[in-house]
Each structure stands twice: as structure tokens, then as C-alpha cells.
Structure 1
Amino acid sequence: MMRSVSPTPSCASMRSDISKYSEQSQSRRKESEGMKNLAEKKKFHEDLVNIFRELENRVITFMKHELERFKKLLRNDNIKYYDKGVDDNYDAREGALNIALHFLRKMNQIDLADSLEKCPIELCQQKLKSNLKKKYKRVLQGISQQGKSELLEKIYTDLFITEGRGDVFSSENEISCIEKATRTQDTEEKPIECNSIFQPLPGEEKAIRLVLTNGVAGIGKSISVQKFILDWANGVENQEIELIFPLPFRELNLKKEKYSLMEILHQFFPETKGMMFTKRKDYKVLFIFDGLDECRHPLQFKKNEIWSDLTTPTSMDVLLTNLIKGNLLPNALIWITSRPAAANHIPPECIDLVSEVRGFNDEQKEEYFRKKIEDQMLAERVIKLIKESRSLYIMCHIPIFCWICATVFETILLETESSRASKQQILNTLTQMYLHFLIFQTKRKTEKYDDEKSSCCGSPQWDEKGTRALGQLAFDNLLDNNLIFCDSDLTDCGISVEDAFVYSGMCTQIFKEDSGILFGTAFSFVHLSIQEFMAALYAHICMSKDNRNVFADEDTCSEKETNMTDLLKNAVDKALNSNSGQLDLFLRFLLGLSLESNQKLLPGLLTYSERTSQSKEEIVKHIKDKLKENLSAERSINLFYCLNELNDKSLVDDIQNQLKSGSLSCTKLSPAQWSALVFVLQTSEKVIEDFDLKKFQRSDECLKRLLPVVKTATKARLDNCCLTQESCLAIAKILSSSSLKELDLSGNAIKDIGVEILACELQNPQCKLETLRLSKGSITGEGYALLASALRRNLHLKELDMGGNDPGDSGVKLLTGLQKDSICKLDTVRFYFISHCDIFFKPSIRTCSRVTICLF
């Protein structure tokens, strides 16, 4: 019997079997996954319990630690142990303090909460004041190793500080600014006491957060900052400020890594460890950033991200820009000092007050010498000698130049009484002053390091290699307008860091070293003028020793030009081509050092030849040829100072003789003579406050030539001088930056177009004109309307004379209607009586509430 064959499974049954298997498999997987998830969830819950148990223990331990610390703070106990590790726990400690303050206030312990909130600040303040007092109580006159330090309070002389002017951000040559400032006598300038820098000005209520203080190099900005800090640390001034953090830009320059603001503070000021900025809004913390012109950070205010985090690291540039803009610590006060050319790096909208350090006035100059020189009879002799040289006396506007003068003259007069008369004749130029300063410092080095070779009264032992190296450093960086040098700048000139101390010892106060707290060592010359002098000396050494013109590698100079005349001509041309006057003082020193009398003071460094004498004649002619060209007043004046360094006063003597004879009003002058006239008038010991154009020549050209003199006067008499609208344009250019209070243009046909030009500047808040006379100026009703519109925005004009013009009824009404304007300060308007004017019926003086209208 045959067995039956099993039927073949159908496709349907096979699919059914597979489906069942799949479902069973998925069911088993889900069951397995569910069990796994349950296990993981159970483990997570267990871990979470453990983690939070550990977290609770740590939080409780931390809070107990902090609460114990808070109790010690309130009891004024020593908390040194409790301040360990604050860099890692700043945020946590701030949170703990905020929690404690919150619950204390909830418990109605308001006084205790307020006291606790102030404790870290007060503790930090005590330590900070103590350390700042030690750091700032003395002023170093020279480098820290060899320089002489004196108590700041003993030698400090008040500086003239004013509210900033409209042209404060000018890039004009600083020496020109100095010389100009000594001639400007603005009676309405608002003087500001250094310690009142953050107090609102009289009549203003706006709170001051950021102050920008300008001033040329060496004018006393850093000393003002030092005095402010010392008075605060001594508890004398500004005690409402809780903390002051001085952070000079030069100490931040090498900062490349990322740091948080708190890390910066902790490293610069270790006493801030443990101190926290809480949410309290009335903190008064002051950051002082001294030397904006020395800052090497880009200060990218527009590109940098907004940053308000105190504890997260970022770049120094981000920290600086956000502190200045107020994103980081918005309630902190900021004080920035700068030379004028660098001030525009700060956006104007960030600045609440611009102040300007003007240096010493004449009384302060003499006060400084009497404080600096202990022997008062000697001090009086030094003052007398300096006064006899107008150029030196002008430069004493700068405190550091007073120090140089005091050093040189005191030394010379002490060396021998018999030298008094001769030295009185010799030291009458800047070059001679700086030469003797260099000689004195070199003798000091020789006496200190090798007193067997030379005494202080003997001949100096010149270190040619060291002097050349310092000169190269000065020259190369002067061309790049660099005043601060790092290690690589020194090695490029063949100076090692170790050598720098020897060279600075050689020159003592000529070269100084600054040790930053964080960032190593930076170097600079004590003052820009010393760098300029050393650069000029280097140029002469290269010519004398190597027959090499330092400008030979420049496109403007051929390598064949290797004689002294070519060097001096190159320097004159380069200085004239610099709009900022960057090489003006360098040029003066370079020319002064070309004289035989000066070169003989540097035996071994410079070699005098007959060719040098011929070079003087050629360069004097070159300068006089340049004066015939249409140069700016600043460039012309510097060239006359250059002629003074070369002992050539022919142009000046000629003009002075004509001034004495009174012949200038009828003499036609050459361009060089015009420049000489401006120079003589501007450097005169007596400031011209009342300028009368009729003493010179009655013309538009004469007024334009003498505009720099008009700018420093308080009163300008330009009446009946045949002037046109061209003169109005010239006057308008200086109105907002001049000292003019009274301007008389009567009797000149300036017409309506001239009034329109003047009206534009009358609206400028910086225009301080109080009296304006425009009688008999061929002005019609259109001109009156322009004046009326301008005076509605004018803050200073009090008196207006419009007699002899034909305004028509509408013109008179427009001007007299100004009495209703609250902004306009005009109180007197003068007209000649006009018969067809129907608003007045007879000659009289009428008073309409505020404006007096005089009819003649």
C-alpha cells in the first residue's frame, strides 16, 4: 500500500506562518524593550535620587560655608580662608549672596541685608585704598631703577583743566597746540577741578558717566589721574565712589588671550577676590583707562558683539568696547585720557563730558619751579633764565618740559657760579636744552657705573653703540607714530631686554621701562619730545659716521644724496608734507644739531666739518624759499622756529622793525614777510586781545594772512577796511573755535551774501560772539531775515548794531521780534531812524520787556 504524498504548502499559508512568526517576534522584542526601559527608568530614578542627594549635600555644605562667611563679614572677622577658590565659584557665590539677601529681607531684616550687601565692597575698598595709596603716593621722575621719586603731594601743582572745545579731536601738531594754547585767553572757558570731573557742570543736570580727557603728550593727564586716585585713597575726595580700578592701556596692550572682566580685576587687583557685583543699582565703581593713544586694540565698537557677562571669558577688545558703551556694568563710571589725535576712537554718543588738560599757565609754571627746586634763590634764578627765552618759556606750558628745564638749569647753576652769564646766553633754543639734558644724564650714568673715568663735572663718556641703538629705535618708531615699544621693537634695533636696562641707566630719565602686572614689560621714552630729539641725533650720527642719509631708502630721496644739505632738505620737505605736523619738532632738533656750536658738545658722536657750515647757509635759503609759498599758518610758524634753531632771525628782525616804525599799514609784504609777521604777533609776550586791522593793511588779503592772530583775540576791529564777502567767509571759518567776543565789520559792503555766511556760524553753539556790528554794510531785508533766523539758535550774542542799512519795516520787525524767543540772549539792537518805518515815529530808546531797541 502506497503512502499518500503531503500536499505542497500554498503561498497563502506560508505568508500566514511568516506573519505569525513576525508578530510573535515583535511581541517578544517589545516585551524585552519594555523590561529594559523599565530597568533604565528605575536606574535613572535611583541615579537621580543619588545625584540630588549629593547635590543637596554639596549645596547645603556650600551654603553653610557661605553663610558662615557672611557672618564673619558682618563681624569684621578675618575671612582669608573663606576667599580661596573664588575664581571658580564667582557665580555660585553671587547666587548665595542674593539668596541670603532675599530671605533676610523676607524676614524683615532690612538693615542686616543692607549691611551684608555692602560688606564685600567695603572690605575690598579698604584693601584697595591701602594698595593704591602705596602705589600712587610717589611720582617717579625717570625710570623706576634710577629715577628719583618724590611725594606727589609735595611737588604737585594744579593744572588748568577746562571743558573740552569743539576742535578737541583735531589731529593738528601737538607742539602747535601747545604754543597756541599759551596765547589763547578765553575768559568764558569753564575751568574744571580735577576732583570734580564727574560732577555735572553748573546749570546742567545730566548725570556724567563717561569722561574723555584730552591733552598733548606730557601735559599732565596721567598726573591728574594719579592725584585723583590718591585723594580718593586718602579719604579726601570723591568718597561716594566705592571702588576705583586704574587700568592703563599700555598694560592691556599685550593682552591676547581671552579673559572675563572678573578675571582681569582679580589679576590686576587681587584684593577684589571674594568681592561680587550684586543686582544693586547704586554701585559707584570707576574704571580709569589712561592713555587711549597707546591702545593697540582695534576698539571695534560697531563689529563687536554685545557683552554683559562678568564671568565668561572673551577678548579684551570686546570687554573694553562693552564697558565703554555701558553694556557691561552699565552703572560704572568711565574715565579715559587721550592725546587729541586718538580721541576720535571713542564714539561721541558714548561721551558725556570732554575735558582738556591745558597744562601750566604762567603762574603755575613759576609755582612748579619753586616746588621742584628747594633752594628758593636758585629757583628764582632758573625762572629768570627761562623767561629770557620766549620759545623755552612757551614750552614750559608742558609740566614734563618744566622738569627738564629745572634739571638742566639747576645742574648748570650749581656746577659753577661763573657759568651763569655764559649759560644764560647759550640756552635759548630747544635743541640746546635737550643737548644739555642728554649730557647731564650721560654724566650721571658714567658717575654711577664707571666713576673712575669721569665725574659729573667732567666730559661725558659717550656710548656710541647704545646711543645709536636708542636713536634708531626712536627714529624708526617716530615715522610710524609709535610711542610704546615691546621686546621685538627693541631687538629689531639690536637692543636686548637686558641691554635696555643698561641703556636706560645710561640715559636715566631719557628712557623708561613699565612693568605691567600681567603682560610683561613695555618701553617708552619719557616724553615724545625726547624720542624726537633722539631720532634727530640718530640721523646726524648716521650722516657723520656712515655718510648715510636716513631718508635714502624713501622713494622721495635718491641713494646718491649723501651730504648734510640733502638730509636737511629732505627733512624740511617731509615735515611740510605732513598735515598733522608729525615731524615738526624732529625737524627743529635736526636743524639745531647741524650747528657747529651744538655739534662740539658731542665729541665722539658727531664730527664737524666745513661743509656743515655751508649746509647752514643752503638750508636757511631753502627754508626762506619755502616761506614764499602758500603754506598753512602752522607750517610757516614751525619754519620760523626752525630758523630760530639755526640762529637766523633776519626775517623776524625786519618785521619787528617795521612794527616799531608803524610802516606796516602802507608796506607791501612778501609771503615770507607775511609769515614772519604772523610768527612775531603770535609769539609776542603780550597777547593781542584787541586786534585792529587798520594798523596793518585794509584788505581781504591782509585779514586772511592775519587770521591766526585774529583767532586768539577777544575783539576784532575790522571796520572801514574795504572788506567784502570774502572776508566774511574767512571770519566764519574761525568763529566757532576762536576767542572772539566782539566783531566789528561796520563800513564794509558785505551785503546780504556776507550776512548769510556769518549767519551759518552764528547758529553754532561753539560761537561765543557777544557783540556784532554790521552798520553801513549795504544789508537789505533779506539779510535781516537771515540774521533773525540764526539768532533764534544763538546762545551768546547780546548786542547787534545794524545802523545805516535799509531793512524795510519787515526787517526791523523780524529782529525786534526776537524778544519773544526764550533761547535768544539778544538784549540790545541798534538802528538808525528810518523815516519810512511806520512802527517808530521819532528817535528814541524803547524797552520792550527784554530787548532794548535804540533808534537814532
Structure 2
Amino acid sequence: MEIPELDKHSKNNKVQGKTSELLVPSCISMKSDASMVTPLKFKDEDSSLLHSKLQEKRSKSPAPSCISMKCDASMVPILTFKDGDYLLPHRLGSESAATNTFLKKLKTNLIKKFQHLNGLIINQGNQTLLNEIYTELYITEGHSGEVDKEHEVRKIESASRRTTEDTPIKSNDIFKPVSEQDEPIRTILTKGIAGVGKTVSVQKFVLDWAAGKANQEIHLIFPLPFRELNLLTDRNLSLMELLHVFFRETNKTEMSSLEKVLFIFDGLDECRFPLDFQNTVRVCDVSESASVPELLINLIKGNLLPSALIWITSIPAAADQIPSECVHRVTEVRGFNNPQKEEYFRKRISDQILANNIITHLKALRSLYIMCHIPVFCWISATVLERMLGEAESGEIPKTLTQMYTHFLIIQTNIIREKFPKKQESDKEMLLKLGNLAFQQLKKGNLIFYEEDLRETLM
């Protein structure tokens, strides 16, 4: 393959790098002679690193050359630009058509994936749009280095009382420093009890970015939930191969004009593989194969793509798996304060008279109203009370947590019965099997389960 010449300065500079069959290198854009170091030219055997687009005849405007980023011992000195960024590329004056097509496809796919509230069954065949009912969560600065083992239910009431003590942070602003004097934020750890809204907060952040509403200074976002990463623990992959598993569009695209990338690792408490930050092999090359835990650890530590942004979410009890020195900011999702509770019900229930009746009922019952501090309980309460107060269901209106959960379970069972009318086993048999499955997994410390876990329980 003929390597196109970059300019007259590049003839005597070479980068030697081990290449692999599937390698998408980081790229560096060339600004001007005054603001760049001497460009680099590849040896003939390194030509596989170039995108096929670079084989075409160059125009007068400079196009980026690509280099494989190796560890310190095997690479030339890191190139540092005047704004301090390195390794990841700088934006060109105009993005290539390929890049535009890639970004459009990625954002379209992310919108399709995140526009609905995932996993929430409200009515058969219906899905709820996130933007229609999303209510801003109460998020504050948190503290690193704490290991919180207190039972989550006991923290709910005390947390609900503290929602007026600290300055709230909007979910779209979590990467923005408090003041101009603060250092840029690279890695964020967001903590919060189960059901408090961490995943929905991530969902809204990605959706607003993909729709062009916020955080447009970020050029790429890759959401990688731990519950999906768990399925790849038996494979060795390069970072680019890992991204291709989740985002097929990354395979054939040139990303040379994209400089700031955000990786979101949601649900650290659901992680089923160990994260050994002390004894993990160093990985610095996006083409180097390693295990999924090794790739994640090197991303978080900054060995791999040090300019990338990292966002990790977790319940407090699992957050100590990430060393405090690797975290630049800790935030805490505290759920809904009292005004946000009411806002949620008015958005969730289209009939405003019914919404007011639901709010009045919950306010009259202290334990239920306190529990509505947790957004997922607001959803459960809305699902139950919308049917019962709206006279779609008969029976006593729930006044206790047990009654609320029991009615919710009945509603969900009825939906499943309507959806699968020919299922053989009874509701009682199904619930007992699911209860046994949940119990066995909790004994193992697992908060989620997969198909193979179900098979194991039923054997």
C-alpha cells in the first residue's frame, strides 16, 4: 500500500508500532506549522493503520495522519498541544462526510435506545417516552473514600430531610467545574441507593446529547452498562473490538476529527467480575487485546485514552471498588424532594384531577410519602393508584408499603397473563420460582440475574 506523503517535514520521522488485524488508531489533526510538532510518517509495514480514505489523493488542506498509541516504553514522546490535550485528536476545520454519517447514525441509534423508559411495563403494548415524564433529580456533591454499609431503607427518611441542605447539580452539568479556577473533571463517580434514579439520569444525559440539546462539547458517548459487560468476561478484546460489540457503526468509520469521548459505566453494583486496580497489566493501545476488566481498569486509571471522560454509577455499598485517587468528582443522587415528587405525578398522570387525588392520598400516609423520595416507588405508586383511584381496579386503596407492593405485583401478573395467555404454569408457580431465583442470587451477592441463572435454579 502506498503511504501518502503528509508534508515536507514528515519524511524523517517514523513511528514503529505493532499492528493487529483490527486496529482503529487514535488520530492527531494537524493545525499549522506554528502550533504543531514535526508530523510523523509511517514505515511501509505500518500502512495497515491508515483508513482507506487516506489512500485517496490528498487535497491542499492537510488531513490527519494516524498513529498507534503504545506504552511509554515503545512509543515516541507524547505529543502535547497548546491547550494541554494529548493522545486524542483535535477537531479539524471541517468534519469529513464519513464522520458526519457515523455521528448521525450513532446518535439516531442512541435516541432509539434511550427515548423510552427501559423495562417499565405500564400498559400492554405501550412504552413511556422519557422526555414526557422526566423530572429533574436532586443531585449534590458527594464524598469519596466512604464505605456505606447501612441498610438502604433506613437511609431513605434521613436522605429525604437533607434535600434542602446542599446546592443541587443538574444532571447535564455534572462534568462542569463549580468555578473557573477548578481543574477539569475527567472521572465522575455517582452514588445513590437502588431505584433512586441513577440509570434514568444517565439515560436522560445521553438522550439530550444525542438530540443536540446539551453537552455538545463531547463528541462521542459510549454507554457500557455493567450488566451487559458481564456477558463478555470470558473474552479478550481490544478497546475498539469491545466498542464494535456494542456499537456496530464504529467498525468502518473514520473518527479522526473527534477529540472528546465519554465512557459511561452504569451499575457498578451489578458487576460480576473483580476489579483489581493493584495487579492489572498496563494497557495503553486501543488495538491491544485484554480482558474486559483490564480494559475498564486501564480506562479508569488513565493508561488507556487519558483524555477520555469516565462516568461510573453505583450504589454506595459497592462504590469503594473504585480507588479514590482515580475519581475527580463524586456526586450523590438523592432522588426527589417534595416539589419534585408532585411534579413527577403531574407529568406521569395525564388526568390532573386524578393526579391531585393521588398526591393527596400519598401525603396523608407518611410512610408512603417518604418512600416517594425514591423515583421507582413513585412509579410503582402511580401504576397502582392510577388504576385503583380511577376505578379500573376494585378493592381497598393501599395504605401501607405491603399493600402497595402486593397490588403492584397483581397488576404486573395480570399484564403478563394477558400477554401470554397460553402459558402452562400458574401464577403461583411462576412467582415461587422467581422468588426462589431472587433469594438464591441475593445469597451470592448478585443484584441481577441472567438466563443461565434461571436454568441453574430450575435444575
TM-score class, shorter: 0.7 to 0.9
Residue in structure 2 matched with residue 440 of structure 1 by the alignment: 411
Aligned pairs for 1:361-440 within 5 A: 361-415=337-391, 423-424=396-397, 427-440=398-411
CA contact (8 A) 2:23 2:49 kept: no
Deviations 1:112-155 (A, max 9, x none): 99748943544422221111111111213536995741111101
Is residue 137 from structure 1 mapped to residue 115 from structure 2 by the alignment? yes
The alignment of Structure 1 onto Structure 2 pairs a total of residues equal to 396
Q: Return the letter of the residue paired with 2:350.
A: E
CA contact (8 A) 1:220 1:357 kept: yes
Q: Return the letter of the residue paired with 2:338.
A: D
Q: What is the SS of the residue equivalent to 1:195? A: helix
The 2-side partners of 1:433 and 1:162 are apart by 30
Q: What is the SS of the residue equivalent to 1:423? A: coil
CA contact (8 A) 1:160 1:361 kept: yes
Residue in structure 1 matched with residue 318 of structure 2 by the alignment: 342
The 1-side partners of 2:184 and 2:115 are apart by 30
Q: 1:218 aligns with which of 195, 199, 208?
A: 195
Aligned pairs for 1:702-781 within 5 A: none
- CA 386–133 in structure 1, closer or farther in 2 if over 3 Å, else same: same
TM-score, structure 1 normalization:
0.43
Q: What is the SS of the residue equivalent to 2:204? A: helix
Residue in structure 2 matched with residue 305 of structure 1 by the alignment: 281
Residue in structure 1 matched with residue 50 of structure 2 by the alignment: 96
The 1-side partners of 2:177 and 2:52 are apart by 33
Residue in structure 2 matched with residue 228 of structure 1 by the alignment: 205
Query: With CA pairs under 8 Å and 6+ residues apart, which has the higher RCO, 1 or 2?
Result: 2
- CA 252–448 in structure 1, closer or farther in 2 if over 3 Å, else same: closer
Q: CA deviation at 1:446?
A: 3.4
Q: 1:490 aligns with which of 448, 454, 457?
A: 454
CA contact (8 A) 1:87 1:273 kept: no
Residue in structure 1 matched with residue 441 of structure 2 by the alignment: 477
Q: CA deviation at 1:89?
A: 5.9
TM-score, structure 2 normalization:
0.78
Q: 1:257 aligns with which of 210, 235, 252?
A: 235
Q: What is the SS of the residue equivalent to 1:331? A: coil
Q: Return the letter of the residue paired with 1:259.
A: L
The 2-side partners of 1:175 and 1:127 are apart by 42
Q: CA deviation at 1:90?
A: 3.9
CA contact (8 A) 2:122 2:383 kept: no
Gaps of 5+ in 2: 6-19, 26-45, 66-90
- CA 111–302 in structure 1, closer or farther in 2 if over 3 Å, else same: closer
Residue in structure 2 matched with residue 184 of structure 1 by the alignment: 162
- CA 388–380 in structure 1, closer or farther in 2 if over 3 Å, else same: same
Is residue 109 from structure 1 mapped to residue 109 from structure 2 by the alignment? no
- CA 100–150 in structure 1, closer or farther in 2 if over 3 Å, else same: same
The 2-side partners of 1:330 and 1:144 are apart by 42
- CA 161–381 in structure 1, closer or farther in 2 if over 3 Å, else same: same
The 2-side partners of 1:222 and 1:89 are apart by 31
The 2-side partners of 1:147 and 1:387 are apart by 32
- CA 141–264 in structure 1, closer or farther in 2 if over 3 Å, else same: closer
Q: Return the letter of the residue paired with 2:449.
A: F
The 2-side partners of 1:286 and 1:194 are apart by 15
The 1-side partners of 2:432 and 2:193 are apart by 27
CA contact (8 A) 1:163 1:354 kept: yes
The 1-side partners of 2:339 and 2:310 are apart by 31
CA contact (8 A) 1:200 1:208 kept: yes
Q: What is the SS of the residue equivalent to 1:407? A: helix
Residue in structure 1 matched with residue 183 of structure 2 by the alignment: 206
Q: Return the letter of the residue paired with 2:457.
A: C
The 1-side partners of 2:52 and 2:169 are apart by 40
CA contact (8 A) 2:192 2:316 kept: yes
Gaps of 5+ in 1: 1-58, 65-85, 452-460, 496-856
* Greater fraction helix: 1
- CA 475–90 in structure 1, closer or farther in 2 if over 3 Å, else same: closer
Aligned pairs for 1:334-733 within 5 A: 334-415=310-391, 423-424=396-397, 427-450=398-421, 463-494=427-458
The 1-side partners of 2:23 and 2:368 are apart by 58
Q: CA deviation at 1:233?
A: 0.6
Q: What is the SS of the residue equivalent to 1:125? A: helix
- CA 192–217 in structure 1, closer or farther in 2 if over 3 Å, else same: same
The 2-side partners of 1:491 and 1:111 are apart by 54
- CA 262–323 in structure 1, closer or farther in 2 if over 3 Å, else same: same
- CA 481–428 in structure 1, closer or farther in 2 if over 3 Å, else same: farther
Q: CA deviation at 1:166?
A: 6.0
Over the aligned positions, Cα root-mean-square deviation in angstroms equals 3.2
Q: What is the SS of the residue equivalent to 1:440? A: helix
- CA 380–303 in structure 1, closer or farther in 2 if over 3 Å, else same: same
Q: What is the SS of the residue equivalent to 2:439? A: helix
CA contact (8 A) 1:162 1:355 kept: yes
Q: 1:156 aligns with which of 134, 137, 146?
A: 134
Q: Return the letter of the residue paired with 2:409.
A: L
